[in-house]
Amino acid sequence: MTADLVYVDEVESHEKKSSGFVEIISAVNLKKCTGAKIEIDPDLKYSSAIMPIEMSLDLLDPLNAKMGKTGLPKNRKTDEYAEVVFEVSGKPVKVETETYHELENYGNILFL
């Protein structure tokens, strides 16, 4: 495993439409942004990375027939990469996007 996870809550999301900037509490796939994309706050520190967004699994590949101790396939293929931006201390990022998901009592997210 690459990270330790702790489940905090299970919540419903509601897709919302936007015509301007929206605060997003998740990492942001720049392909999902429109217009000016990000409103930069000079008091915040941003970082970005090129990350795999879509992956596929060849079930006929013999390496995938035998999964490792983690139960994860050994031979996945990345189908799509995207530049992902986030604020390094976890503060919201203001982005221009057509749609986002609102999580009650938490904030707004974009699915990568």
Asked whether residue 3 is assigned to any structural domain, the reply reads no
Contact 82, 29 (CB under 8 A): yes
Which domain does 78 fall in, by range? 13-109
pLDDT tens string for the chain (112 positions)? 577 888 888 999 999 999 889 999 999 999 999 888 899 999 999 999 999 999 888 776 666 666 656 666 667 789 999 999 999 999 999 999 999 999 999 999 999 9
Please count the structural domains in the chain: 1
Residue 98 confidence (pLDDT)? 94
- pTM of the model as a whole: 0.77
**Cα(26)–Cα(92) distance, integer angstroms:** 7
Asked whether residue 29 is assigned to any structural domain, the reply reads yes
Asked whether residue 7 is assigned to any structural domain, the reply reads no
Asked whether residue 50 is assigned to any structural domain, the reply reads yes
Asked whether residue 55 is assigned to any structural domain, the reply reads yes
Asked whether residue 2 is assigned to any structural domain, the reply reads no
Residue 109 confidence (pLDDT)? 96
Asked whether residue 82 is assigned to any structural domain, the reply reads yes
Residue 63 confidence (pLDDT)? 64
